[in-house]
Amino acid sequence: MAKPKKTPRPKAETPKGFRDYFGAEVTQRAEMLRKIAAVYHRYGFDALESSGVETVEALGKFLPDVDRPNEGVFAWQEDAEADKPGDWLALRYDLTAPLARVYAQHQNDLPKPYRRYAMGPVWRNEKPGPGRFRQFYQCDADTVGAPSVAADAEICAMLADCLEEVGIPRGDYVIRVNNRKVLNGVLEVAGLADDDKDRERGIVLRAIDKLDRLGVEGVQALLGEGRKDESGDFTNGAGLSIAQIDKVLSFVTAKEQAAEDLAAALEIERQSNPGFDGRLSAMKGSFGSVGPMDSYKPEEYQTVFLLTFLKKLVAGSKAGEEGVDELGQIYLALFDQGYGPDRIIIDPSVVRGLGYYTGPVYEAELTFDIQDEKGRTRNFGSVAGGGRYDDLVKRFTGHEVPATGVSIGVDRLLAALQAKGRMTSSEAGPVVVTVMDRDRMADYQKMVADLRRAGIRAEVYLGNPKNFGNQLKYADKRGSPVAVIEGGDEKERGVVQIKDLILGAQIAESATLEEWKDRPSQFEVPRDDLVAKVREILRQHGLPDGSSEA
Amino acid sequence: MAKPKKTPRPKAETPKGFRDYFGAEVTQRAEMLRKIAAVYHRYGFDALESSGVETVEALGKFLPDVDRPNEGVFAWQEDAEADKPGDWLALRYDLTAPLARVYAQHQNDLPKPYRRYAMGPVWRNEKPGPGRFRQFYQCDADTVGAPSVAADAEICAMLADCLEEVGIPRGDYVIRVNNRKVLNGVLEVAGLADDDKDRERGIVLRAIDKLDRLGVEGVQALLGEGRKDESGDFTNGAGLSIAQIDKVLSFVTAKEQAAEDLAAALEIERQSNPGFDGRLSAMKGSFGSVGPMDSYKPEEYQTVFLLTFLKKLVAGSKAGEEGVDELGQIYLALFDQGYGPDRIIIDPSVVRGLGYYTGPVYEAELTFDIQDEKGRTRNFGSVAGGGRYDDLVKRFTGHEVPATGVSIGVDRLLAALQAKGRMTSSEAGPVVVTVMDRDRMADYQKMVADLRRAGIRAEVYLGNPKNFGNQLKYADKRGSPVAVIEGGDEKERGVVQIKDLILGAQIAESATLEEWKDRPSQFEVPRDDLVAKVREILRQHGLPDGSSEA
């Protein structure tokens, strides 16, 4: 008889592109999400939790990132029922598509506007890369059914509050605000708005988005004849006229040009006014909707000049002018509430990839430097972004519903806090009560119960107690601050030994005997003083000593 | 030319068996999970978060519930790469299978024993039913690599602490503990342990599990010839001998028989000892491993008699005797730590469906009555359960790794708290600042910013402000406690109107004019007193007034 074939053992592996998170990685993320949720809640947003699974039909066949239109979702078909084929289901790829579905499904029961926050994992069926996983967290807040840019302004302010709440101090971040309508206005005045200019428009948008990498000259080449890159490959250009190129480049360099205009205006005023105090009294061609120049403080001039420059640039395009006016309203609302240009700035270079944005867009960038994986110093970069999308609900209902919202990249923000040393990457382990005599397990469990009742994190060693060294190795691996020992002798005398493992490690590592001889790291105390002594040691090391929980 | 066919609008629907959770449903669950995590953490367990997606190979092709072996997982095949077919991936169906994979994958880096807790959604591809969803939360804690029943005892104590921490008071729950080895011992002494008794064993186990529904007589019929149910259908019996049936029924009714033994022993002692104080001094055939009878308190007698009865029942089966001894050790350890039979009891009727349990099993039951969906009064029933499973890691490594753990049914526990009125089903909405004059949006946003800075949940109305009635309807729908109003007249006089909406609703609903005329529900206060007055009203209604957050 043939031997039965053994089934091979399964591989113990996460699927490619997925990973496990341990200990502090989990609790720190939870703590950060709790803080962000508290800010969202204070701003009046209500929690929503939809499931990870949606119908492919409801999600739509598009992914938010236009740069990777072919990247997909994880999808599968349900079993057929009777003669009806099964629905196609998929894991959600963001929290915005489910929101549109929820709003359309429950619109009769929801308050209007509907303001909700949501947090949880999303999944992307993409090729995984270094630091890029196929499941990750998002943490969103959106207002659905509010056409006013007051809703956009509020979300920018809330984003600033969130960043400060989790530990990014003012000065270490900036929130950049732009408006898609301004870009559309530029395309319109450059004669690129018509349907038959699709190809040119595509090249222009991609070129603008690459400004960081290509510089103004590279963009200029792409707008005109085309561009040869370092490897010699040639990219076809949009073939625009000089006048058209000028319009687009003016937009791309608006910030710099507005800054020059401002410097010139200040210089003129300085020369013509001997008592010049740094305040502009008037400005020719001032940006209408933000009022006369002398109502602004000097730190606002840059924004006012930028808006004025943009307004002139898009003059004649209704969408463009409306876009600049909206930026002005957002800027004013935020400045009034104390969110000045030290935190939130208008920046026409913000494009954001998502095709569905229709109005204001915003992006939070961390401005401090870090070392990247190749050891190069660079800006930490974007950790959150969002904008106005007025068409998403329409897919379901046929009616346009104005909406705006933000998504915080949870894992990137967490990495930023770790990079800045605002979060330690480990947490204190439990007090470990060792087992000297396995027949007296009940005694050790009693000690642990006493410690826990006092709010102190503690456990009895539950592995094989035979090798005492293994018990101390275990305490070390857990990062335990304290070990408790009670042998037969101690039991008889009614005492326990308490080892300060943190101090012990310090002594072993760095000190001369002389220096430490007066600071023992092991103490014998009466059994009844166990909790008090452990608490004292924890407090000395600045660890939670349970007193707030007991 | 033919008109282009319009794509039909997608349906705005959750997939069958999935649902959305709103507001308080989300925040209350989060709060409950936070409390449970704090207890797990205090007991020395570390957080672990694995992804929702695993390879089908790692999950195994079995589901934990033996009653529904054909129910499945949500699974799909990855795209093929080069000439390699894609892996099959699936959503996790519980948190234990991923733990086994994690332990096997990271065993060289993990402390041993490895103690972890995990919480999150799991998915089952089952036919949905009322109150039964295809995505739900679990919240587990497990100790891997600890052979001692001290680990099991600890988890039972922790489960009791968790229930009390989230708001189930002592007396409203009981944790029942059993041991699979005892059942195996009974099967052995009944001559049903051999491989060729597979069919009989299956019938016996299913019959025991149905004791609640069938009663002792029904079980007896299934053990013998078989049983005709109410509809006339006949179920074949196991065809056991009278002696075999007697063994199994003794096990099934062990609690009742032990109680009778105890009553008889007390009666004998009462008759033979005129000064009887309710304490037994000795007992013939006392259960060895728990020591002499006079070392126990009267409230322990029931457990000691039960263990003694079981020990006699399984005498001759090594597994059975070991099982009873382990139950004795668990019982003693827990009693010593203060977890007496008012919280944790030994109960041989606990079977638990999961096929993979190998030793102690435990289950938390809520003992208070609720009305079910048909209006019948019934016990709330089980909210958590677990046990020892020594074989799960072996699938991967070939080595047996002892493990024990518990899983809390988060949604059932939440439903229990709501049924007991320990959680309200709604939460207070934000203070709503209404918009009387849309050109003064900045003023209203400033008010909201002031309130938020004081830690008070607040928002400005962001819908179309034209119809003021809609603004108050919105505040009502949000459950807002307070509305703030500032028209042109108030602005001029430097005041705001503050409406106490809770008091207003009470007046409108129930009171006579007389009764309330001295308690106005609308107040005019100086703009500068806005925050103080709102805080005062919130405090009067027992709502969070921001003072702890500001």
pLDDT in tens, A177-230: 999 999 999 999 999 888 888 888 888 888 887 887 888 889 999 999 888 888
Instruction: State which residue of chain B sits closest to A72, comparing Cα positions.
Output: B79
Q: Would the CB atoms of B146 and A462 count as touching at under 8 Å?
A: yes
Q: What per-residue confidence (pLDDT) applies to B535?
A: 96
Q: Choose between B202 and A7: higher pLDDT.
A: B202
pLDDT surpasses 80 at A519: no
Residue B408: name the closest of B130, B126, B158 by CA. B158
Q: How far is B37 from chain A (nearest CA, A)?
A: 10
* Cβ contacts of A462 on chain B, cutoff 8 Å: 113, 115, 143, 146, 148, 150-151, 154
Q: Would the CB atoms of B398 and A57 count as touching at under 8 Å?
A: no
Report pLDDT digits (tens) over A309-329.
Answer: 999 999 999 999 999 999 999
Q: Would the CB atoms of A459 and B115 count as touching at under 8 Å?
A: yes
Structural domain spans, chain B: 17-144+361-427, 170-351, 431-540
pLDDT surpasses 70 at B214: yes
Q: What per-residue confidence (pLDDT) applies to A378?
A: 75
Q: Would the CB atoms of A123 and B396 count as touching at under 8 Å?
A: no
Q: How far is A243 from chain B (nearest CA, A)?
A: 38
How far out from the chain centre does Cα A416 lie? 9
CB-based contacts of A165, cutoff 8 Å, min separation 6: A35, A36, A38, A39
Q: What per-residue confidence (pLDDT) applies to A69?
A: 38
Q: What per-residue confidence (pLDDT) applies to B159?
A: 97
Q: How far is B156 from chain A (nearest CA, A)?
A: 13
Q: How far is B369 from chain A (nearest CA, A)?
A: 30
Q: Would the CB atoms of B48 and A27 count as touching at under 8 Å?
A: no
CB-based contacts of A313, cutoff 8 Å, min separation 6: A185, A186, A189, A247, A250, A251, A254, A320
Q: Would the CB atoms of B20 and A51 count as touching at under 8 Å?
A: yes
Q: What per-residue confidence (pLDDT) applies to B200?
A: 87
* Cβ contacts of B157 on chain A, cutoff 8 Å: 449
Angle CA(A217)–CA(A221)–CA(A222) in degrees, nearest 5? 120
* Cβ contacts of A456 on chain B, cutoff 8 Å: 42
Q: Would the CB atoms of A54 and B15 count as touching at under 8 Å?
A: yes
* Cβ contacts of B30 on chain A, cutoff 8 Å: 34, 37, 47
Of all residues in chain A, what percent carry a pLDDT higher than 70? 91
pLDDT surpasses 80 at A256: yes
Nearest CB among A38, A105, A430 relative to B12 is that of A105
| Contact criterion met (CB below 8 Å) for A496 and A447 | yes
Q: What per-residue confidence (pLDDT) applies to B326?
A: 94
Q: Would the CB atoms of B442 and A23 count as touching at under 8 Å?
A: no
* Cβ contacts of B123 on chain A, cutoff 8 Å: 52-53
Q: Which CATH architecture has domain B17-144+361-427?
A: 2-Layer Sandwich (3.30)
Report pLDDT digits (tens) over B337-349.
Answer: 889 889 999 998 8
Q: How far is A377 from chain B (nearest CA, A)?
A: 32
Q: What is the mean pLDDT of residues B240-259?
A: 92
Q: Would the CB atoms of B21 and A49 count as touching at under 8 Å?
A: yes
* Cβ contacts of B20 on chain A, cutoff 8 Å: 48-51, 102, 105-106
Topology of domain B431-540, CATH: Rossmann fold (3.40.50)
Cβ-Cβ pairs closer than 8 A, A with B, add up to: 291
Q: How far is B250 from chain A (nearest CA, A)?
A: 31
Of all residues in chain B, what percent carry a pLDDT higher than 90? 57
Instruction: State which residue of chain A sits closest to B14, comparing Cα positions.
Output: A54
Q: How far is A233 from chain B (nearest CA, A)?
A: 28
Q: How far is A224 from chain B (nearest CA, A)?
A: 36
Highest mean pLDDT among A162-171, B190-199, B373-382: A162-171
Of all residues in chain B, what percent carry a pLDDT higher than 70? 91
* Cβ contacts of B395 on chain A, cutoff 8 Å: 9-10
> CA B359 to CA A274: how far, in whole Å?
93
Q: What per-residue confidence (pLDDT) applies to A47?
A: 97
Residue A29: name the closest of A391, A412, A308 by CA. A412
pLDDT surpasses 60 at B67: no
Report pLDDT digits (tens) over B76-124.
Answer: 888 777 778 888 899 999 999 999 999 999 999 999 999 999 999 999 9
The answer to whether A261 is annotated as binding is: no
Q: Would the CB atoms of B14 and A105 count as touching at under 8 Å?
A: yes
Task: Give the range among A376-385, A534-543, B43-52, B289-298 with minimum mean pLDDT.
Answer: B289-298
In whole angstroms, how far apart are CA B507 and each of B501, B511, B513, B540? 10, 5, 8, 16
Q: Choose between B355 and A129: higher pLDDT.
A: A129
Would A16-171+348-427 and A431-540 be classified into the same CATH topology? Answer: no
Instruction: State which residue of chain A sits closest to B448, comparing Cα positions.
Output: A43
Task: Give the range among A360-369, A391-400, A515-524, B118-127 with minimum mean pLDDT.
Answer: A515-524
Nearest CB among A52, A148, A463 relative to B135 is that of A52
* Cβ contacts of A38 on chain B, cutoff 8 Å: 549
Task: Give the range among A151-165, A289-303, B256-270 with minimum mean pLDDT.
Answer: A289-303
pLDDT surpasses 90 at B377: no
| Contact criterion met (CB below 8 Å) for A209 and A251 | no
The complex scores an ipTM of 0.89
Q: Would the CB atoms of A337 and B449 count as touching at under 8 Å?
A: yes
Q: What per-residue confidence (pLDDT) applies to B64?
A: 47
**Sign of the CA dihedral running B142, B145, B149, B153:** negative
Q: How far is B428 from chain A (nearest CA, A)?
A: 10
Q: What per-residue confidence (pLDDT) applies to A511?
A: 63
Q: What is the mean pLDDT of residues A365-389?
A: 84
Task: Give the range among B71-85, B301-315, B508-522 with minimum mean pLDDT.
Answer: B508-522
Q: What per-residue confidence (pLDDT) applies to B167?
A: 93
Helix (H, G, I), strand (E, B) or coil at A525: strand
Q: Would the CB atoms of B14 and A54 count as touching at under 8 Å?
A: yes
Q: How far is B90 from chain A (nearest CA, A)?
A: 10
Average pLDDT, chain B: 87
The answer to whether A352 is annotated as binding is: yes
pLDDT surpasses 60 at A483: yes
Q: Would the CB atoms of B104 and A76 count as touching at under 8 Å?
A: no
Q: What per-residue confidence (pLDDT) applies to B290?
A: 56
Nearest CB among B74, B396, B456 relative to A76 is that of B74
Task: Give the range among A50-59, B276-285, B425-434 with minimum mean pLDDT.
Answer: B276-285
* Confidence label for B35 from pLDDT (cuts 50, 70 and 90): very high
Report pLDDT digits (tens) over B147-197.
Answer: 999 999 999 999 999 999 999 999 999 999 999 999 999 999 999 888 888
Q: What per-residue confidence (pLDDT) applies to A353?
A: 60
Nearest CB among B13, B48, B143 relative to A58 is that of B13
Nearest CB among B58, B337, B442 relative to A332 is that of B442
Instruction: State which residue of chain A sits closest to B453, comparing Cα positions.
Output: A42
Nearest CB among A50, A115, A456 relative to B20 is that of A50
Q: How far is B207 from chain A (nearest CA, A)?
A: 33
DSSP track, B88-130: EEEE-S-SHHHHHHHHHHSTTTS-SSEEEEEEEEEE-BS--BT
Q: What per-residue confidence (pLDDT) applies to B69?
A: 38
* Confidence label for A68 from pLDDT (cuts 50, 70 and 90): very low
pLDDT surpasses 70 at A549: no
Q: What per-residue confidence (pLDDT) applies to A2?
A: 52
Helix (H, G, I), strand (E, B) or coil at A158: helix
Q: Would the CB atoms of B113 and A477 count as touching at under 8 Å?
A: no
Instruction: State which residue of chain A sits closest to B102, comparing Cα positions.
Output: A12
Q: What per-residue confidence (pLDDT) applies to A282?
A: 66
> CA A359 to CA A352: how far, in whole Å?
12
Q: Choose between A132 and B146: higher pLDDT.
A: B146
Side-chain half-sphere CA neighbours of B387 within 13 A: 25
Q: Would the CB atoms of B442 and A47 count as touching at under 8 Å?
A: no
DSSP track, A9-35: PPP--PPTT---EETHHHHHHHHHHHH
* Cβ contacts of B46 on chain A, cutoff 8 Å: 22-23, 478
Average pLDDT, chain A: 87
Task: Give the range among A13-17, A76-80, B473-477, B514-518 with minimum mean pLDDT.
Answer: B514-518
* Cβ contacts of B446 on chain A, cutoff 8 Å: 336-337
Nearest CB among B11, B43, B135 relative to A51 is that of B135
Strands A431-433 and A377-388, sheet pairing: unpaired
pLDDT surpasses 50 at A306: yes
* Strand ranges for B180-249 from DSSP E: 226-228, 234-236
Side-chain half-sphere CA neighbours of B308 within 13 A: 22
* Cβ contacts of A454 on chain B, cutoff 8 Å: none
Nearest CB among B21, B42, B332 relative to A457 is that of B42
* Cβ contacts of B115 on chain A, cutoff 8 Å: 459, 462
Q: Would the CB atoms of B20 and A44 count as touching at under 8 Å?
A: no
| Contact criterion met (CB below 8 Å) for B158 and B406 | yes
Q: What per-residue confidence (pLDDT) applies to A87?
A: 84
CATH 3.30.930.10 fits A16-171+348-427, yes or no: yes
